[in-house]
Chains A and B, each alone.
Chain A
Amino acid sequence: HSVLTQPPSASGTPGQRVTISCSGSNSNIGSNTVNWHQQLPGTAPKLLISRNNQRPSGVPDRFSGSKSGTSASLVISGLQSEDEADYYCATWDDSLNGAVFGGGTKLTVL
């Protein structure tokens, strides 16, 4: 079981808005910033959102992140077919002295 909880799957049609949640605790999300990583099929993960809501250069502004208390969210607005991928939240856990990931959310574009 992952320390951070994500829904295993999500779906939407092109153009729709999709939200993926990530739930943790005071020792991880409650105390540290959250990153989101996108893993396209058969490829390595790629940083999508850093420090709760920062988009690295090259990431479309359709992707946005937020954090509140011990939860975080990734929002994809204007869903596109190329967004079909696995999405992982991640942060540091002060109690475990280690990084922790969510179990991943498989996004399907219908």
Chain B
Amino acid sequence: EVQLVESGGGLVQPGGSLRLSCAASGFSFGDYSMSWVRQAPGKGLEWLSYISSTGHTIYYADSVKGRFTISRDNAKNSLYLQMNSLRVEDTAVYYCARAPNYDFDYWGQGTLVTVSS
């Protein structure tokens, strides 16, 4: 069974940093590209970043480019999102998703990030 479990969310002050993790199991992690997607309270889904299976191809949404960094460790079956210079508007539930062919075929349960002073 495919499982994606996010962790690392929490309360952080504006300008602060946070690193999210996504632990994958139930499939060959190194064979799949992955993405991060977020959902602000009461709002829709917003794609943030994509990383290919090897990590060689990476894309970011304009809203996080230069502030967020996606990475992966295939030996540890893990995906990461380093978030710097956080803003109040980054408050959201952050999901990792398996993304073959740029689709999202499995989602994690999400981790809540709250940016507030």
Contact = CB atoms under 8 A, between A and B. Distances in A.
A44 B44 contact: no
Interface residues of A, number: 26
A56 interface: yes
A97 B61 CA distance: 8
A50 B44 contact: no
A32 B95 CA distance: 23
B32 interface: no
A10 interface: no
B46 A101 contact: yes
Chain A interface mostly: strand
Given A45-B95, A47-B103, A50-B103, A98 B46 contact: no
Interface string B57-98: 001110000000000000000000000000000000001000
Contact of A44 (B47, B50, B60, B110): B110
Nearest to A35: B103
A101 B95 CA distance: 14
Interface residues of B, number: 22
Interface string A86-103: 101011100001111111
Given A44-B107, A98-B59, A98-B61, A92 B102 contact: yes
B48 to A, nearest CB: 9
A98 B60 CA distance: 7
Contacts of B108: 44
Contacts of B103: 33, 35, 47, 50-51, 90
A90 B109 CA distance: 19
22 contacts: A33-B103, A35-B104, A44-B95, A44-B107, A45-B104, A45-B107, A47-B103, A47-B104, A50-B103, A56-B105, A86-B44, A88-B44, A90-B45, A98-B59, A98-B61, A99-B37, A99-B47, A101-B44, A101-B47, A102-B44, A104-B44, A104-B45
